[in-house]
A = this chain, B = another copy of it.
């Protein structure tokens, strides 16, 4: 993939479009202001004074479905997803600015309940909602800007050959939960997965322990392959994911086998788990947080998958190149 491909596409296309457009913007707008420590190319922008800022948008029928999202759960989900970017930087949240994109069919009760969701999660992290915008929109959505602070930001760019790749908890659960809800599968069969999709937990507290020994970090919002690819790109290293080391949550395993999907493929391409994917030389004991070692950092570039002793180069989408 290179940015020239951008010009070969006639229309905006989700599958390859997002990464290409971000590359294009990054080239067009290089970092010039001295106040900025890190601009485009990480989970959040970092100011030299320690403030970390990031913005995320969510739209109905693209990012959430109100058939199974209560407005309160939606408020939680969107704020959690936004906060996850602060967690990935090792930053503690201070406040959010919320832009509400409201369609005319929404009721006042909807708006009130959405804010009940915001209230619960912002309270948990001791943060304010300190601004935003309210506009009429043809499509219901929200854009959340969160501001946090850290003395030592954890970048995507610090991975070094010889380090290992770690992830908190299980991957693929959120996508299984989303699919279970969409397919109207029995909820009691997928409690963790459904909970993960509706109420993801940004790893704000865990990040404070992890940053003591982590060298690079990203949150798993786009799927393991895309997120690991970003780490490799930004750190200018090669990352090898050891397929056999990826933990499979029972609900992901059951869902995949029932639906004849390879669970590895599911985990590589399924996003929105909002776990922390990070590199470190070794892993100290961490109280109360599951952390799995799932790969290695090596000299070179690109993302590789090692399955049963064979190593193949893979693309951010999880797509395997034939070798």
- A33 lies within 8 A of B94 (CB): yes
Chain A interface mostly: mixed
Stretch from A51-59, A203-211, A270-278 at the B interface: A51-59
Copies of chain A in the complex = 2
- B145 lies within 8 A of A7 (CB): no
CA of A138 to CA of B17 in the docked complex: distance in angstroms?
16
- A111 lies within 8 A of B12 (CB): yes
Kindly identify which residue among B28, B29, B57 contacts A101, using a CB–CB cutoff of 8 Å. Answer: B57
Stretch from A128-136, A163-171, A239-247 at the B interface: A128-136
Within 8 A of B (CB), among A119-152: 119, 122, 126-139, 141, 143, 145, 147, 149
- B21 lies within 8 A of A101 (CB): no
- B61 lies within 8 A of A138 (CB): yes
Kindly identify which residue among B25, B131, B134 contacts A53, using a CB–CB cutoff of 8 Å. Answer: B131
- B130 lies within 8 A of A137 (CB): no
- A99 lies within 8 A of B51 (CB): no
Within 8 A of B (CB), among A6-51: 6-7, 9-14, 17-18, 21-22, 24-25, 28-29, 31-33, 35-36, 39-40, 44-45, 47, 49, 51
CA of A22 to CA of B304 in the docked complex: distance in angstroms?
49
CA of A103 to CA of B137 in the docked complex: distance in angstroms?
14
Q: By the criterion of a CB under 8 Å from any partner CB, how many residues of chain A are at the interface? A: 79
- B137 lies within 8 A of A106 (CB): no
**Given the interface contacts A17-B134, A55-B145, A131-B54, does A104 sit within 8 Å of B11 by beta carbon?**
yes
- B128 lies within 8 A of A57 (CB): no
Kindly identify which residue among B35, B128, B136 contacts A94, using a CB–CB cutoff of 8 Å. Answer: B35
- A57 lies within 8 A of B133 (CB): yes
CA of A98 to CA of B22 in the docked complex: distance in angstroms?
11
**Given the interface contacts A36-B128, A57-B137, A134-B21, does A11 sit within 8 Å of B105 by beta carbon?**
yes
- B62 lies within 8 A of A12 (CB): no
18 more contacts with CB within 8 A, not counting A39-B129, A39-B131, are A7-B108, A10-B107, A11-B105, A11-B108, A33-B130, A35-B94, A45-B130, A45-B131, A49-B49, A54-B131, A55-B97, A57-B137, A58-B135, A59-B137, A59-B139, A133-B143, A138-B139, A143-B143
28 contacts between A and B (CB under 8 A): A9-B108, A11-B104, A12-B102, A12-B106, A14-B136, A21-B111, A21-B134, A22-B134, A24-B112, A25-B98, A25-B129, A29-B118, A29-B119, A29-B129, A31-B128, A32-B126, A40-B132, A45-B95, A45-B97, A45-B131, A49-B49, A55-B133, A55-B143, A56-B133, A57-B133, A57-B135, A62-B136, A97-B145
